[in-house]
Amino acid sequence: MVEYFIKLKPLNPFYFGSTKSFDDNKNDKDYKKPYFLKGNMYPQQTAVLGMLRKKVLEDNGILISNAKRNNEQKNREKEYIGNITKKISESTFGKIESISSVQVYIDDIPYYFYEDNKTGETNAKFSDIKNFTNKNGEKRLLEYNPKSFGEYFVNFRNKDKKSKDKIFKEVAELGIDKQKKEGEDNSLFKKQRYLFKERNIYFGFYVILKDVNIKNGFVQLGDKYSIFYLEVEQKNKTEKNLEINVNQENNLMLFTSDMYIEQDDLNKLLELSEGINLKNSKFKFINDSNSEFYKNKNSQNLIKRGSILLSNNEVSKILENEKYKNYKKVGFNDYKLYRRR
């Protein structure tokens, strides 16, 4: 097995689909398509996996046209890239042993996304006073009013912190929905893309491959206009996931990728942690009283990158459970612990 470091450098503004742009009412008779489509800053890990699977087939001479894909060919493809099912926990990945979470790199150093107070604190801080938070009991919440929060990226090596507008540039684009059906409104739409502000900024992740090659080249990640140049380096991973003693109480745990957690484990997590700032895939703060909002209950269990909680040994045990092994293999359920100041 060989570990590679992959750099993804955009050639033009990119767009990664956002669940926030679309609601759960699209089957209602009065449903109207959204006019404004706001992209995510990061690609979803499943999209990265799909891009990598295609690249492995291309670079190893396995990819052929659909017209020639007989059972023998499909079995050969499965040997190289596995079989993806509706449930990640039941999927296989072939010669792709693992993928790390995608991060933003500046001058070859990873920066991790989180929300923080705009006044310049270097770490998110929880109040020493417990507050009543719905059915979750008394928790220590972040000291800051959410309205004063900004989106930041932190470098754990030297605690350097950069605001989102120092890294990303937003690019608006007007378009026409060519798939609009007769009688539908909102054929015009506005799409917000992103572009890195400096040439020294890129997306990066690690991948471990077994007995296959991967080469430099152009890849599509996101919509059809989101083209990246993929650079490959054979490199040993130096960033450790857990930088401090996991048994220490009340360390800050930062989710550095989206994290899938089963409902029972999520309930335990909320019970065991003394301080929480979790956001789910609907971009709402976790709140037991608004469960009626979720038509797809699974969306309540995908906790967003940048969520923070006060950790302890029991919390770590939940997140390291073997049942989440496949999620971790494709870059979900990644986190870092750092000392609470």
Higher pLDDT: 192 or 174? It is 192
* pLDDT given at position 146: 54
Residue 71 backbone dihedrals phi, psi, to 5 degrees: -60, -35
Are residues 86 and 317 in contact, defined by beta-carbon separation less than 8 angstroms? no
What's at 214, amino acid-wise?
I
**Cα 64 from Cα 22, distance rounded (Å):** 34
Strand partners, 115: 151
191 has a pLDDT exceeding 90: no
CB within 8 A of 130, min separation 6: which ones? Answer: 138, 139, 140, 274
Work out the number of other CB atoms within 10 angstroms of the CB of residue 196.
18
Are residues 154 and 112 in contact, defined by beta-carbon separation less than 8 angstroms? yes
The tens digit of pLDDT for each residue in 301-337 reads: 778 888 888 788 888 899 999 999 999 999 999 999 8
DSSP state of 30: T
Give residue 192's Cα distance to chain centre. 18
Q: Which domains can be identified in the chain, with CATH numbers?
A: 2-104+165-234 (3.30.70), 115-149+241-338 (no CATH)
Report the pLDDT averaged over residues 278-283: 50
Give residue 136's Cα distance to chain centre. 26
Which pair of tokens denotes residue 258?
A: 């989206």
The average confidence (pLDDT) of the chain is 77
Helix (H) or strand (E) segment spanning residue 76: helix 71-81
CB within 8 A of 23, min separation 6: which ones? Answer: 34
Distances (CA, A) of 324 to 25, 240, 261, 289, 333: 30, 19, 8, 27, 8
The tens digit of pLDDT for each residue in 226-265 reads: 999 999 998 765 554 444 455 555 578 889 999 888 878 8
**Cα 91 from Cα 246, distance rounded (Å):** 29
219 has a pLDDT exceeding 60: yes
Which pair of tokens denotes residue 45?
A: 């890990």
